[in-house]
Amino acid sequence: MYAPNLFQDKVALVTGGRSGIGYGIAEALLKLGAKVIICARKAAPLAEAAAALSEHGTCVQRPCDIRKSEEVEALADLIESEFGRLDILVNNAGGQFPSLARHISDNGWNAVINTNVNGTFYVSRIMANRFFVPQKSGNIINIVVNHLRGFPGMAHTGAARAAVENLTKTLAQEWAVYNIRLNCVAPGTIISSGLDTYAEPVKALLDKMKEENLMQRHGTIEDVANAVLFLASPLSAYTSGTTLYVDGMDHLHGDRMRMVNMFR
Ligand X SMILES: NC(=O)C1=CN([C@@H]2O[C@H](COP(=O)(O)OP(=O)(O)OC[C@H]3O[C@@H](n4cnc5c(N)ncnc54)[C@H](OP(=O)(O)O)[C@@H]3O)[C@@H](O)[C@H]2O)C=CC1
Ligand Y SMILES: CCC/C=C/C(=O)SCCNC(=O)CCNC(=O)[C@H](O)C(C)(C)COP(=O)([O-])OP(=O)([O-])OC[C@H]1O[C@@H](n2cnc3c(N)ncnc32)[C@H](O)[C@@H]1OP(=O)([O-])[O-]
Q: Which residues bind ligand Y (CB under 6 A)?
A: 95-97, 99, 105, 107-108, 111-112, 115, 145, 189, 194-195, 197
Among 12, 13, 14, 22, binds ligand X (CB under 6 A): 22
Give the residue at shortest CB distance from ligand Y.
95
DSSP state of 90: E
Cβ proximity of 188 and 213 under 8 Å: yes
C-alpha to C-alpha distance for 190 and 95, rounded to whole angstroms: 13
Among 67, 85, 156, 256, binds ligand X (CB under 6 A): 67
For residue 222, how many C-alpha atoms fall within 13 Å in the half-sphere facing its CB? 2
Q: How far is the CB of 122 from ligand Y (least distance, A)?
A: 15
Residue whose CB is less far from ligand X, 67 or 156: 67
Name the burial class of residue 77, with classes exposed (0-12), middle (13-18) and buried (19+) by CB atoms within 10 angstroms of its CB.
Answer: exposed
Tell me which stretch binds ligand X (CB under 6 A): 29-37, 89-97, 100-108, 207-215.
Answer: 89-97
C-alpha to C-alpha distance for 146 and 125, rounded to whole angstroms: 24
- If one asks whether residue 65 binds ligand X (CB under 6 A), the answer comes out as yes
- If one asks whether residue 225 binds ligand X (CB under 6 A), the answer comes out as no
Residue whose CB is less far from ligand X, 30 or 33: 30
Residue 9 vs residues 98, 110, 227, 228: alpha-carbon distances, Å: 41, 38, 21, 18
C-alpha to C-alpha distance for 218 and 247, rounded to whole angstroms: 8
Q: How far is the CB of 177 from ligand X (least distance, A)?
A: 29
- If one asks whether residue 138 binds ligand X (CB under 6 A), the answer comes out as no
- If one asks whether residue 73 binds ligand X (CB under 6 A), the answer comes out as no
Query: Could you tell which of ligand Y, ligand X, none binds residue 108, using a CB distance below 5 to 8 A set by kind?
Result: ligand Y
- If one asks whether residue 183 binds ligand X (CB under 6 A), the answer comes out as no
- If one asks whether residue 120 binds ligand X (CB under 6 A), the answer comes out as no
Under 8 Å CB-to-CB from 235, ≥6 apart: which residues? Answer: none
The number of beta carbons lying within 10 Å of the beta carbon of residue 81 is: 8
Give me the residues that bind ligand X (CB under 6 A), please. 15-16, 18-22, 39-42, 64-67, 92-95, 115, 119, 143, 145, 187, 189-190, 192-195, 197
